[in-house]
């Protein structure tokens, strides 16, 4: 079965990566689909292509051979139709995530090929990690190496050094 794990992944953190690893053990093929949203261009730390490359490096380092990384824009249901996949994988950290993701799952079922959404609960040790928090810590020079894969840590260091000048 081919599943799609969509998200912004700005940046990829260990909670995201835990879901990728677990999905790769459950399904034959996993596509990690990085959202491109030009209307939010100024809100992203990394470009879509940078996010794709970070995830590709992390996947390669972990030897997850059944995981591919792509980017998409527009409706997820349309992207999934093009891929021929009917299953969405989403990670959940808390009840607040569930409420939002449940609404999205219902909306996606009304569009396209009626995809099913499967939820994977975040591992307890990563349930507090968010991309927003990772970016905030990195902006203030904090060590995020325990919260993100090495590929992300390296990209964050480079991005922060470039921002300094």
Report, as residue numbers or ranges, the catalytic residues.
16, 40, 93, 131
Is residue 72 marked as binding? no
β-bridge partners, 33: 6, 70
Is residue 19 marked as binding? no
Give the residue from 13, 42, 19 showing the smallest Cα distance to 131. Answer: 13
Chain centre distance of CA 11: 8
Is residue 44 marked as binding? no
Is residue 85 marked as binding? no
What does the DSSP assignment read for 8-29? --TT--HHHHHHHHHHHHHSSE
Is residue 128 marked as binding? yes
Q: How many CB atoms lie within 10 A of CB 111?
A: 14
Residues 67, 59 contacting (CB under 8 angstroms)? yes
β-bridge partners, 30: 3, 67
The single-letter DSSP state of residue 111 is S
Is residue 164 marked as binding? no
Is residue 91 marked as binding? yes
Is residue 129 marked as binding? yes
Residues written for the chain: 165
Is residue 89 marked as binding? no
Binding site members: 8-9, 16, 40, 76, 90-93, 101, 126-132
Binding site members for ATP: 8-9, 16, 91-93, 101, 126-132
Binding site members for substrate: 8, 40, 76, 90
């Amino acid at each position: 079965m081919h599943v799609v794990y969509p998200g912004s992944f700005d940046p990829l953190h260990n909670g995201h990566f835990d879901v990728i690893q677990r999905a790769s053990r459950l399904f034959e093929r996993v596509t990690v689909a990085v959202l491109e949203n030009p209307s939010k261009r100024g809100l992203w730390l990394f470009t879509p292509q940078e996010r794709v490359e970070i995830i590709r490096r992390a996947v390669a380092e972990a030897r997850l051979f059944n995981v591919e990384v792509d980017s998409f824009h527009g409706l997820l249901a349309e992207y999934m139709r093009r891929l021929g996949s009917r299953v969405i994988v989403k990670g959940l950290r808390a009840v607040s995530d569930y409420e939002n993701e449940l609404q999205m799952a219902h909306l996606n079922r009304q569009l396209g090929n009626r995809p099913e959404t499967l939820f994977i609960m975040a591992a307890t040790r990563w349930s507090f990690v968010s991309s927003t928090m990772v970016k905030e810590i990195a902006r203030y020079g904090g060590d995020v190496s325990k919260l993100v894969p090495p590929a992300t840590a390296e990209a964050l260091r480079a991005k922060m050094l470039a921002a300094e000048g």
